[in-house]
Amino acid sequence: MKPDTIVKLRDAFIMASDALQEELEAQAPKGKVDLTADLTGIVWEAAVGPKGAYEKTDDTNNVKYKQLLKAVQEHQGKLTIDNYFVWVFDNGHTIARRPKN
Task: Say what percent of the chain tops pLDDT 90.
Answer: 45
- Given pLDDT bands bounded at 50, 70 and 90, which one contains residue 29? low
Q: Where are the domains of the chain?
A: 1-30, 45-99
C-alpha–C-alpha distance, residues 30 and 47, integer Å: 32
Are the CB atoms for 68 and 55 separated by under 8 Å? no
At 60, phi and psi to the nearest 5?
A: -65, -20
Stated pTM of the model: 0.63
pLDDT of 33 strictly over 60:
no
